[in-house]
Amino acid sequence: MNLARHIIGISLVVLLFSGIGCAAKQTKVEKFVNARVEIGEMMTNYFQGGGMFKDGQRPSPEQMKDMGADIHTKLGKLLEKYDLTVEEYRKHSPEVFADDAAVKGYLNEHLDMKARYEALPLDRMGRGGSTGRGY
């Protein structure tokens, strides 16, 4: 009888901790998907219509540096509401978005977010190698 109690007790503990792990993973997926959507929308708006560089004109190295700093600042402010830094987002987003089933599961539960996610470009400004839609 004691053995049966121990087995049941261990099984309940395993189930409890696996549930906590799944909830934490789901929260992380939600945070990163929502952040990615907002980043993608911010970047789309930032470069809307070519801005000050039209007709194939390219920015100078100084202008590129200023744009990079401006984008980094805006990105940092956006990610603050998700308790993330730019570095944390860049480090962990590949692993979060590699779990395609979790991302699709979250999006299927939140159809408004799914529509916004699917409206993002498939890559970043024509460069391949991104980890999904947007940034």
pLDDT at 19 over 60: no
Whether residue 23 lies inside any domain: the answer is: no
Is 44 among the domain residues?
yes
Q: What would the pLDDT profile of 42-99 be if each residue is shown by its tens digit? A: 988 887 765 566 666 788 889 889 988 999 999 999 999 999 999 999 999 999 999 9
34-45 residue pLDDT tens: 999 999 999 888
* Residue 20, domain member (yes or no): no
Q: How many domains does the chain have?
A: 1
In a domain, 108, yes or no: yes
The answer to whether the beta carbons of residues 106 and 26 sit under 8 Å apart is yes
Q: pLDDT band for position 13 (50/70/90)?
A: low
Q: Name the pTM for this structure.
A: 0.69
| Number of CB atoms found within 10 A of residue 119's CB | 13
Q: Answer whether 123's CB lies under 8 Å from 40's CB.
A: no
Question: Does residue 118 carry a pLDDT above 70?
Answer: yes
Residue 121: C-alpha distances to residues 39, 46, 94, 126 (Å): 12, 14, 17, 9
Q: At what angle do helices 86-98 and 100-109 cross, to 10 degrees?
A: 100
Domain that holds residue 86: 28-118
